[in-house]
Each structure stands twice: as structure tokens, then as C-alpha cells.
Amino acid sequence: MNVETGAQVGDAGLEIRPVSGEPVLGPKDTRVSDVVHACHSASIDQGLDALAIPGLTRDTLEPVLQYCASLQCIADEVTCPGCKRRTEVQGIETLDQFILSKKEVIVGDGRVRLRGEGVETVSTPCLETLAKQWSGENYWFWARRVIRKLRHGLRRAHMRGEPVAGEGETPSVILMEPQLADNIGMVARACANFGLDDLRLVNPRDGWPNEKARIAASGANYIIDDARAFGTLDESISDLNWVAATTARQRDLRKPVLTPEQAIAEMRTRIGRGERCGVLFGRERNGLETGEVAHADVLIMIPVNSRFASLNLAQAVLLTGYEWMRGDAGRSLGRVTTYEKPLEEGLYMGRDRPATKEELIGLFEHLERELEEKGFFNPAHRKTVVSQNLRTLLTRMNATEQEVRTLRGIVATLAQGKGRARRGGE
């Protein structure tokens, strides 16, 4: 994306100015990175409402974004906290150097603390997150994405699907405290792929609705639009009759353990007699707690490599959805458009047709005649056996009419030369 530089940002009193080495705007000295983050994490309108900066609207937002997108902070010698440019300016190149630059890094609930030599205290959910995020975010890249949304709207926002079944006719997909909006979007895409229309979220960390989830859904907008958020697990399953919980860990609970195939078969039976069913999926980091699994009627355990059993959230939903779609009469192999007919298992013939026996016999006789002329059948008494083997081989090909014609053209060319073959062997 081409981003203009040198944007004017003085409209409506929104001039960006340096304060304590950071680019800020508005009466409350809001950092530019906070504006970018708010509009990138949610919708533009939700971000603007949350920021509540006087005069900052859709009409005045782009110059602020341009400041970040075109890296004008370099010329102004300012940086935002959390931006990758700040760690670069500070000369921090490794995680060890980052920790050393802080007074203390608090991990999780505070039982793990990393002490450095700086003056700032920071927190991180876990060491894995710290390892991924210590260097900061590419806020200028985020700004360019928000500018694109501001100018052109959401990618694939025009795409509209619709549920493939009536309410309660497919299992509900329940996500327990999902942490990343991107994962919710990818789950929505998997749901749309395999006809699972009801998505439920229990206490999503980043709130709901969330624009980042819509972007990650890649066109599965109707799943996102219809998704419902609940405060507790009990609320999310209150209208269901039967719930299966997915887990990769063995639980000390006396519950049936089923594969996805077995669980889906049970759900089809129950849904067929009017019951409502759901599948519960755990958090990205640590899955479901045993107390949450206790709410389920059965456990689903996906066959995996026993030494690496953890699945991505969207992958687990996708595998379950695939089992559901396998038994659905409305499924198709790949996409079906106005110009494409549904495919069935087996050999794809397109506009071709299987060769007739007459056409195959013509190929046999043509090939044998040319081989005879070139002295292939030597000794002569082996001709019968060799001819039978050739006919068996060519019959086993299940050749099409077009393939037989192609083979006869190859035989004629090899025997007579290309020019003579075209002239009928003159």
C-alpha cells in the first residue's frame, strides 16, 4: 500500500506534539500508538468511541494514522511505548537485554518475577507471550491496515453467507474464554466451511463484537454476526440437552470417551429426535479446567501423536466440523458456483466419456499391426502371450475416448513420422 508522507495533523486541534519523547495528541496527551491500537483491535468506530478524543472522527483520523504509517516519528525523534521502533532506538536486540532494561517483569499472577537494572515494571501473561512480544509491535504496519479499512472498508465485507440448517439442527460450537480475536475468526471460518452455524463465546478476553475476529474470518461474516457472547459457561449451555467437551489430557472423571466420529454419530441421533447438542472447546493456552469438563456428558479426544497432542483451537474445531460434514447430505467436494456442477467421489471425467470396446479394440489392433511391422514379436510364437499382456495393460487403464485417440496418434507418429502420420501414412 502506498502511504503518503508529510500529512498535516493540525485539523480540529489534533496536532501531534512530542511530550517526554512520545508523540501525543488531544487534551489528554493520548499517544499515537494508542489511537492505532484502538482502531486496529476493534472496529474504527468502536476505537474512536473508546478513545473519546474531542475532534477525532473518521474525517480527521487519517492524518493521525499517516503520521505513524509513514514513520514521521523518526524525523521528530520520538517513539511510542510498545512499538518495535522503541526497542531498536534503545539498542535492545535480545530478550535478555529487554529483561535487564526493566526494573521487574511480572509473569502471570506474580509468583514468577524477573528482575533487571531499569526503573520500569512491566507485566506479561506468561513467558511464552513475553518471548513473542518483548520486541514490540509494528504499529506503522497496523496503521496502514487501518488506513486501508478507513478508505475501502473491510476486505470481503461484501461476502454474505447464510446458515445451512435451521436453529438447533447443527451442534453449537462453544469457546471457553477465547483469548485471541484472530483465533475466534479462524474458528468462524472453520464453522462456515463445515456447516456449523451456531458459535458461542464464554467471556472472550478482548470483548465482543471484535473487528479483528471479522477480519480473520475471511468472509465467514454471518458466523461472526450471529455469534453470541455469554458471561458464564452455565449460561452458554443452558438451552442444550447434550454437551461434549474436547480435551487432550486424561481426566479423572467417569465419563464416556469418544472420538470425533463417534461423538458426531451420537449428536446426529440426538438432534434427529429433537435434542440440542454442543461441543465445548478450551482456552488456547491451557484448555478446559476439570470443573468445566464436569459439565459435559462425554469427552471427545482426537486421535493424535501421543508425544505432541496439543491442537490449535481452530484446528480442533475444523476436525470436528469435518466429521459433521462427512455425514451431511448437503456437502460438496470443493466449491460449487454458477458455472460448476457438484462433484462426486471417483474419476472426474469432465466433458469426456469412457472409451467404448470398439475404440479400445481399434487401439489394440493398430498397436499390434505397427509392432508386427517393426519386428517386435520375436520369436513369433510369443506373439499371442505378448498381445494378451498388452491388451490387459491397456484395458486396465480405463481410458477415455480422448485418451484412446491420443494414444493412436502417438503410435502413428512413432511408426510413420509426424508428417506422414498427419497425411494418413502416404
DSSP track, 306-367: TTS----HHHHHHHHHHHHHHT-TT--SS---TT-PPP-SS---TT--BPPHHHHHHHHHHH
E strand spans, 131-197: 172-176
In this prediction, residues 167-173 reach a mean pLDDT of 90
Would the pTM of this model clear 0.95, i.e. be above it?
A: no
| CA nearest neighbour of 300 among 270, 237, 257, 254 | 257
Q: Decide if 333 contacts 343 (C-beta within 8 A).
A: yes
* pLDDT band, very low/low/confident/very high, at 177 (cuts 50, 70, 90): very high
In this prediction, residues 361-382 reach a mean pLDDT of 88
The β-bridge partners of 229 are 201
User: What pLDDT does residue 380 have?
Assistant: 80
Residue 193 has φ and ψ, to the nearest 5°, of: -55, -40
* pLDDT band, very low/low/confident/very high, at 426 (cuts 50, 70, 90): very low
Q: Decide if 266 contacts 258 (C-beta within 8 A).
A: yes
299-320 pLDDT tens trace: 999 998 988 888 899 999 999 9
User: What pLDDT does residue 327 have?
Assistant: 72
| pLDDT of 2 over the 50 cut | no
For 207-237, b/e burial (b = at least 16 CB within 10 A) is: ebbbbbbbbbbebbbbbbeebebbeebeebb
User: What pLDDT does residue 187 have?
Assistant: 96
5-37 pLDDT tens trace: 334 454 546 899 999 999 999 899 999 999 999
3-class SS shares of the chain: helix, strand, coil, % to 5: 45, 15, 45
Q: SS3 of 54, please?
A: coil
Return the DSSP state at 382: G
Return the DSSP state at 380: G
User: What pLDDT does residue 423 have?
Assistant: 54
